């Protein structure tokens, strides 16, 4: 595994040298303390320090850099948690790999993150026996991550779930089943589990599975069509005259859910284009750029979509921080009428870009606009 602290934190601050220097000073004791953490209490202390560090960068770092930075810091914390648990249980990772899924797998984490993870273990021997050995370890890791602020996944998409702790052969069979079945649940599973990235252990297991998936998915037009239809189930929240369509009920009436009704539109479309061109990228911007490189998309349109996606991500980060500051649980709902005029117009444009991306996806795989 790579050392996530090799991420060039200073470079992302651009011309703001003072902010970069202040961040570097604050980062160093976190780096040192995390490396020295050997128990749950010290890891929880470092988790709090990392959260404070992440929030301090909000006003100084663009969204595309900030979500990668958040993910890199969370990677480092997760790796140390796994290291501590493995040491305590006298387990090594020579024959398995811990993988991040979902937003962490895409390196697009925000301030509010639950756990989505799994384990790939080496083929050979009795898979059930290997699973029985690894599940207690995975449970300790999941619980320690929860103590560090990463909420347990309500859908139980975690390595301690036997369905998420599989041999390389079992993962391949599972992925094949989802591509063959193509029903609603199978497509939902694919949209979560196909965004995987190695975090700890034998990274070759992840690389091999990813290389296999890149080939088989690109050669499956029926599955790509089904994934496209699934990605188009949600429309951009825009009315017939181009204005905002706001939620009428629920916990946050009069708002837009920036995660489900905005960011997800870009994420789901980019995943299909990436699978179609055999890309192993998991990050949304990287996926779109590789699709352009593969001549599926035009570079100029891709850059517009990426800019729009990153604007929405920044709004999400600001909304999450603001809700926490007001003593609320972090959420992604925003009332566009309360935004400044410039942000409101930018959000409207970003949603129109989401609609344009969806139209492009429909043209490519459904034969319609």
Tens digit of each residue's pLDDT (9 = 90 or more) over 105-143: 999 999 988 899 999 999 988 999 999 999 999 999 999
Per-residue pLDDT averaged across 185-193, rounded? 94
Alpha helices per DSSP H over the chain: 17-36, 40-56, 63-88, 102-105, 127-147, 168-181, 184-193, 203-218, 221-231, 264-276, 284-293, 299-325, 341-365
Q: Are strands 197-201 and 117-121 parallel, antiparallel or unpaired?
A: unpaired
226-365: which CATH topology?
1.20.120
pLDDT at 174: 97
Distance from chain centroid for Cα 310: 13
Going by pLDDT thresholds of 50, 70 and 90, the confidence category of residue 6 is low
- Distance of alpha carbon 87 from alpha carbon 65, whole angstroms: 33
Q: Which of 206, 119, 208 is nearest to 164 (CA)?
A: 119
Cα-Cα-Cα-Cα torsion 6, 152, 58, 31, nearest 10 degrees, comes to -30
Location of each CATH 1.20.120 domain in the chain: 226-365
Strand, coil or helix: what is 87? helix
- Distance of alpha carbon 360 from alpha carbon 173, whole angstroms: 31
pLDDT value at 232 more than 70: yes
Higher pLDDT: 59 or 267? It is: 267
pLDDT at 21: 87
Token pair 């929030």 in the structure block, residue: 55
Going by pLDDT thresholds of 50, 70 and 90, the confidence category of residue 294 is confident
pLDDT at 1: 41
Beta-carbon count within 10 A of 207 CB = 13
Location of each CATH 3.30.460.10 domain in the chain: 4-219
- Distance of alpha carbon 346 from alpha carbon 60, whole angstroms: 19
Percent of the chain at pLDDT above 90? 85
**Cβ contact 62:81 at 8 Å:** no
Average model confidence (pLDDT) across the chain:
93
pLDDT at 2: 44
Percent of the chain at pLDDT above 70? 97
Model confidence over 28-39: pLDDT tens digits? 999 999 999 999
- Distance of alpha carbon 106 from alpha carbon 197, whole angstroms: 8
pLDDT at 127: 96
Per-residue pLDDT averaged across 255-284, rounded? 96
4-219: which CATH topology?
Beta Polymerase; domain 2 (3.30.460)
pLDDT value at 7 more than 70: no
Q: Which of 79, 63, 62, 119 is nearest to 96 (CA)?
A: 119
């Amino acid at each position: 595994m790579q050392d996530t602290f090799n991420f060039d934190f200073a470079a992302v601050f651009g011309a703001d040298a003072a902010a970069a220097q202040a961040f570097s000073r604050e980062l160093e004791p976190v780096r040192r303390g995390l490396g020295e953490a050997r128990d749950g209490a010290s890891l929880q202390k470092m988790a709090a320090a990392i959260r404070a560090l992440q929030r301090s960068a909000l006003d100084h770092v663009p969204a595309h850099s900030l979500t990668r930075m958040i993910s890199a810091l969370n990677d480092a914390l997760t790796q140390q948690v796994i290291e501590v648990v493995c040491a305590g249980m006298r387990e090594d990772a020579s024959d398995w790999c811990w993988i991040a899924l979902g937003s962490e797998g895409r390196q697009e984490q925000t301030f509010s993150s639950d756990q989505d993870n799994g384990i790939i273990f080496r083929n050979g021997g009795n898979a059930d026996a290997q699973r029985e050995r690894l599940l207690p370890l995975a449970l300790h890791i999941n619980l320690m991550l929860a103590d560090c602020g990463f909420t347990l996944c309500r859908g139980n998409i975690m390595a301690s779930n036997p369905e998420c702790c599989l041999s390389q052969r079992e993962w391949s069979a599972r992925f094949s089943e989802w591509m063959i079945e193509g029903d609603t649940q199978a497509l939902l599973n694919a949209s979560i589990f196909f965004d995987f990235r190695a975090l700890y252990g034998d990274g070759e297991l992840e690389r091999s599975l990813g290389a296999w998936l890149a080939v088989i998915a690109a050669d499956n037009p029926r599955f790509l069509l089904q994934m496209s239809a699934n990605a188009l189930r949600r429309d951009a929240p825009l009315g017939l005259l181009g204005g905002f369509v706001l939620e009428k009920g629920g916990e946050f009436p009069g708002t837009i859910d920036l995660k489900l009704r905005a960011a997800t539109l870009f994420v789901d479309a980019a995943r299909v284009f990436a699978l179609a061109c055999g890309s192993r990228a998991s990050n949304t911007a990287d996926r779109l750029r590789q699709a352009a490189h593969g001549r599926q998309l035009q570079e100029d349109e891709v850059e517009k979509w990426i800019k729009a996606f990153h604007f929405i991500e920044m709004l999400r980060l600001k909304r999450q921080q603001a809700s926490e500051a007001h003593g609320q649980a972090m959420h992604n709902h925003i009332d566009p009428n309360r935004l400044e005029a410039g942000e409101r117009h930018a959000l409207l444009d970003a949603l129109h870009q989401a609609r344009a991306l969806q139209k492009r996806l429909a043209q490519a795989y459904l034969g319609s606009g």
